[in-house]
Structure 1
Amino acid sequence: MFKILLIDRCHFTRTGFEAWLNRTGLFPDHFVVTSLNNLILAREHIQQWKPTVIIADLHGFRQDINHFQQLSSLLNASETVPFILLQSGEEQEMTGYLSQFPVWSSLMKNIGLDQLATVINDALTSCASIEIPKVAAPLLTRQEEKVLTMWMDGASNQKIASYLSINGKTVYTYKRNIRMKLHMDTRFSPFLSLQEVEN
């Protein structure tokens, strides 16, 4: 079973891409798609979930980072995995920085779906000789991902509890589990930049 990790800031791109992947039937074998809109969580997914292929639009996260070097831990974590870069914009400085890392393919986000399917298929078949586990489990549960997203958006425990129709103490438990799974030292870890987390 192949595991595809999609990293994109845009909710509509993530859900549309996931639906397209699941309906095409263009790819070999079965696969699981996980989509994320968080760079720290993406890095942890790469290290622990060990995806077969990573597809990412890093330009969408430009407003979240102070320096391009903050992307290095994410890109270094994916050195041995085909990394397909879908660019939603062209920023010369960022493109230059990303060229230092092994990228399987760099494409503009408005590429035709046929061409994109070919690139993904090539990346997947290049990994076919690697022994891939038959069972793929996501790092965080869907509920934990919802809690993390609201937490990073600054929602209080009560607001998260109310929105998800759960108890406030349950939110605390979810946050503790998220920190443990993502190896976060403190309750402030999700709000630190990637560089601050590494130090």
Structure 2
Amino acid sequence: MSAIIVDPCHFTRLALSTTLLDMGLEARDILTIKTLSALRDNIGMMMPHAVFINDCCFSRNPAQFRQIIKNYPDTQFVILIDYEQANYREFVPLRRNIVILSKSARSQTLYPLLRQCLPTAPTPDNVEEIDLTPLLLSRSESQVLDMWMAGQPTPVISRQLNIQQKTVSLYKGNIRRKVGCLNNQVIHHVARLAGQLTSGIQVTGR
């Protein structure tokens, strides 16, 4: 059981590695680095079960990181985002092996997530499992999100999609609930990451 932590912040690397040590990982099985290039150089040799990476580490070259994810489908990639001012403390599964996680995540979120990323690592007995089913939007919700991200106001979205404004508001509410956040900036950031690292947020057939 091994993990790589990629973050320019010393305190984040220290806190996360300490948590992993507390969960039973050996120090030799935890690699802490600062850059995407260092991840590229080490992931093939280490073949980690999980990679924790700050999204700022691949912001200039998301295509390179997307290729790394594609090359290592059995590794769990946890994307760390920092939205403490928005009081965002949750997580969003994008794919089976890609999860977006707030750096301010609560312990009741963090420990179950780590346990499912590193299933043989011991965790406290009172830790409950969390649902890592990838985020799914309906086709209508996806259309609303695209226009919402483009800066279109509700009346314009309503007119272009030929639906009532209250229906647009309903879809926005559904998106907020599924992402687990009321802050528009966080929602747009999650959608942007989904587009950079995958083909986008998955859409149901209806």
TM-score normalized by the length of structure 1: 0.47
- Structure ID, larger Rg: 2
Q: Which structure carries more relative contact order (alpha carbon 8 Å, separation 6+)?
A: 1
